[in-house]
Structures are given as structure tokens and as C-alpha cells.
């Protein structure tokens, strides 16, 4: 196993938001197996605590805590708890997010605000809370979970796309501000990944199980690598961006999308 701890002999600490489910869960698991101390943070506190307990039982170092990423005090408390736990924050993954479907004529202002609040403001608040501590790390890294729809236009996701576009711009902007100060900032842009988020999107559209399965199949038809992606396949790239293996990369938005964006 390759250790992340190239720049220091001490174990590094990572915070992952949205860790109770899907992609965030896979990232927290991958960081833990890589040897990091992992703070699993989620609005679903029970899910975060359960994941941390499972990781601890498997011999890893993990802490499960509640966070509401739209609440500045809650995000500050998350960072404070991580510091109290190990005395350091080396990596943060701002991953918590929600899907809001619909074109601009079909969504309400409340739905627009919800997407922007959780996906964009949540990323901003998470970054702002951890950056002072990443600056104190020998090799601080910040990784955002963006989306392919933050990079190109796709039908029916006006608010979600705008929120992920904000994450893409924030990634580049923070990278510019912090590159010379020792903190690298990058993002992963997943394509269609089978998780509760994507499944609920198609469940809502389908009248029954057969239509649900048919909608899932239609998605596959758009992908050059003709299958859905898995959370583990995103976690592997997030680990790379979080580690010293990507030490000369910052400000990058990395599509992990079965070839969708480049091979259309
Ligand atoms: N699944 C996909 O196809 C896909 C594609 C591109 C990008 N993404 C992005 O990946 C990230 C993870 O998505 P996923 O598919 O794993 O979804 P998921 O629904 O499986 O997990 C999201 C997690 O975020 C948590 N969360 C939601 N709102 C929160 C809040 N306000 N505060 C704290 N935690 C909150 C949820 O409780 C949940 O555990 C999201 O940012 C999503 O937009 C997903």
C-alpha cells in the first residue's frame, strides 16, 4: 500500500462531507484504507457515525459527526471537532450535495435556492472553515465534487448545473489564491454514478420498476464506456488529487465520466 504520508511521518487527517452515502462514503473508505484519519461528516449524523464505527472496527482511524454544510456555525464546529481530534486538517473534500431537477421554467425559486445553498454555498463554507488549517499542513489539499453538468450544458438541470458551475469556478479561483501558499485545490467532475442521489432522480420520473430500469439503461446509452460509474471509481481519483501523487496539479477539474465529455 502506498502511503499518503510522503511529506510528513505523521498520519494525515481528512474531512469528507456527505460521507454517509454514495460517493462521499466511498471517498471516506478509500482515505481510511490509505492510512488517513478520516472525519466522516454528514447531515445524516447516524449514517456518518455508523460509517466511522465500521471503519474503526476494521482497524482504521475514523470519527463520525453531524454537519449541515449550509450552516456556517455547523461547518465551523466540524472543523473545530476535527482539530480537537487529531490537532490537524490536511485534506478536505467538499462533497455533500443534492440533485435538483428541472429546466428553468419548471423549477421554483425555492428549488433554485436549495441547489445553490447546499451545492455552492456549502462548498464555499466548507472551504472557508478548513483553509486556515490546510495552510498549516505540510501539504494541504482541498478537493471539490463538481459534476460534468458544471462543465457542459445538459437538459433539465438548470439549478443543479448552475450550482456545480459555481463549484468549478470556485475551485479555479481558490487554486489561484492559494497555489503559492502551499495548498492545492482541485475538483472531480463525475458523470452518472449509481448512488441514492442518481437513483432517486430516476425513481421520481418512473411510473414503475420496469420504467425505472429502462431509464437507467437509457443513461448507459450516452456513455462511451457503456455502463454506470461506481463511487469507488470517483474515490480513486479524489485520493489521487488529495495525495502528494498529484503534487504539481492545482486548479484542475477532472472529469471521471466514462468518456462522456471527450468522446461525444
Ligand atoms: N451520483 C452522481 O451521478 C453524481 C454525478 C456528479 C456529481 N455528483 C455529486 O457527488 C456528490 C455526492 O453525491 P452522491 O451521488 O454520492 O449522493 P448521495 O445522495 O448518495 O450522498 C450525498 C450525501 O450528502 C449529504 N448531504 C446532503 N445535503 C447535505 C447538507 N446540507 N449538509 C451535509 N450533508 C448533506 C446527504 O445526507 C448524503 O449522505 C454530490 O455533490 C453530487 O452532486 C454525483
Residue 73: alpha-carbon gap to chain centroid: 20
- What is the pLDDT confidence band of residue 204, given thresholds at 50, 70 and 90? confident
pLDDT in tens, 33-80: 999 999 999 999 999 999 999 999 999 999 999 999 999 999 999 999
Residue 253's pLDDT is: 98
Query: Is 9 a residue whose pLDDT tops 70?
Result: no
List beta partners, residue 92.
15, 142
Do the bridges between strand 184-190 and strand 61-66 make them parallel or antiparallel, or are there none, so unpaired? Answer: unpaired
The pLDDT value recorded for residue 205 is 87
* 95 CA → ligand 1 middle, Å: 6
Ligand 1 atom closest to Cα of 146? 7
What positions carry a catalytic annotation?
160
Do the beta carbons of residue 64 and residue 53 sit within 8 Å? Answer: yes
Which of 16, 23, 193 maximizes ligand 1 atoms within 8 Å of its Cβ, making it the mutation to test the pocket? Answer: 23
Choose which residue among 96, 143, 215, 234 to substitute to test ligand 1 binding: the one with the highest number of ligand atoms within 8 A of its C-beta: 96
- pLDDT reported for residue 10: 82
Residue whose CA is closest, atom 43 of ligand 1?
A: 97
Q: What pLDDT was estimated at residue 5? A: 44
Please give the distance, rounded to the nearest whole angstrom, from the Cα atom of residue 55 to the centre of ligand 1: 20
Site residues for ligand 1, CB cut-off 6 Å: 17-18, 20-24, 42-44, 67-70, 95-98, 118, 122, 145, 147, 190, 192-193, 195-198
The residue whose CA is least distant from atom 36 of ligand 1 is: 18
Q: What pLDDT does 55 receive?
A: 98
Digit-coded pLDDT (tens) for 132-159 = 999 999 999 999 999 999 999 999 999 9
Residue 7 Cα to ligand 1 midpoint, Å, equals: 31
- The pLDDT tens digits for 162-172 are 999 999 999 99
What proportions of the chain, in percent to the nearest 5, are helix, strand and coil?
50, 15, 35
Testing ligand 1's pocket by substitution, the residue of 50, 65, 67, 97 carrying the most ligand atoms inside 8 A of its CB is 97
* Contact by Cβ (8 Å): 95, 126: no
Considering the entire predicted model, what is its pTM?
0.96
Look at residue 4 and give its three-state secondary structure.
coil
> What does 96-115 look like in DSSP terms, one character per residue?
------B-TTTS-HHHHHHH
Query: pLDDT at residue 6 above 50?
Result: no
**Beta sheet of 184-190, edge-to-edge order:** 61-66, 37-42, 13-17, 91-94, 141-145, 184-190, 253-256
CB neighbours of 98 closer than 8 A, spacing ≥ 6? 114, 115, 118, 119, 197
Q: How far does the centroid of ligand 1 lie from the alpha carbon of residue 118, in Å?
A: 10
Q: Would you tell me how many other CB atoms lie within 10 Å of the CB of residue 83? A: 16
Sequence-distant (≥ 6) Cβ neighbours of residue 125 within 8 angstroms: 69, 70, 71, 72, 75
User: Whose CA is closest to atom 17 on ligand 1?
Assistant: 197
In tens, the pLDDT along 68-119 reads 999 999 999 999 999 999 999 999 999 999 999 999 999 999 999 999 999 9
Q: What are the pLDDT digits (tens) for 209-259? A: 999 999 999 999 999 999 999 999 999 999 999 999 999 999 999 999 999
CA 132 to ligand 1 centroid distance, Å: 25
Give the per-residue pLDDT at 47.
Answer: 98
Q: Which residues neighbour 66 within 8 Å (Cβ) at sequence distance 6 or greater?
A: 41, 42, 43, 45, 48, 74
Identify the CATH class of 13-191+230-256.
alpha beta
Distance CA 152, CA 165 (A): 9
Index of the ligand 1 atom closest to the CA of residue 99 = 43
Amino acid at each position: 500500500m502506498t502511503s499518503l504520508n510522503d511529506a510528513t511521518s505523521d498520519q494525515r487527517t481528512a474531512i469528507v462531507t456527505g460521507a454517509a452515502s454514495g460517493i462521499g462514503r466511498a471517498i471516506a473508505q478509500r482515505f481510511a484504507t490509505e492510512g488517513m484519519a478520516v472525519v466522516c461528516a454528514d447531515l445524516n449524523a447516524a449514517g456518518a457515525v455508523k460509517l466511522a464505527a465500521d471503519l474503526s472496527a476494521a482497524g482504521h482511524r475514523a470519527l463520525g459527526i453531524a454537519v449541515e454544510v449550509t450552516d456556517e456555525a455547523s461547518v465551523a464546529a466540524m472543523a473545530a471537532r476535527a482539530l480537537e481530534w487529531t490537532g490537524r486538517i490536511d485534506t478536505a473534500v467538499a462533497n455533500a450535495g443534492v440533485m435538483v431537477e428541472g429546466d428553468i421554467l419548471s423549477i421554483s425559486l425555492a428549488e433554485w435556492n436549495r441547489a445553490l445553498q447546499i451545492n455552492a454555498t456549502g462548498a464555499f463554507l466548507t472551504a472557508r472553515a478548513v483553509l486556515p488549517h490546510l495552510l498549516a499542513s505540510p501539504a494541504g489539499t482541498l478537493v471539490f465534487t463538481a459534476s460534468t453538468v458544471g462543465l457542459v450544458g445538459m437538459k433539465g438541470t438548470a439549478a443543479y448545473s448552475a450550482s456545480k458551475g459555481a463549484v468549478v469556478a470556485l475551485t479555479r479561483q481558490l487554486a489561484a489564491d492559494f497555489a503559492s501558499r502551499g495548498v492545492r485545490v482541485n475538483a472531480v467532475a463525475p458523470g452518472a454514478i449509481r448512488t441514492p442521489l442518481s437513483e432517486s432522480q430516476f425513481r421520481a420520473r418512473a411510473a414503475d420498476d420496469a420504467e425505472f430500469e429502462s431509464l437507467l439503461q437509457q443513461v448507459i446509452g450516452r456513455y462511451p464506456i457503456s455502463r454506470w460509474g461506481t463511487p469507488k471509481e470517483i474515490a480513486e481519483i479524489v485520493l489521487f488529487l488529495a495525495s502528494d501523487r498529484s503534487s504539481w496539479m492545482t486548479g484542475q477539474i477532472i472529469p471521471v465520466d466514462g468518456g462522456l465529455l471527450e468522446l461525444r
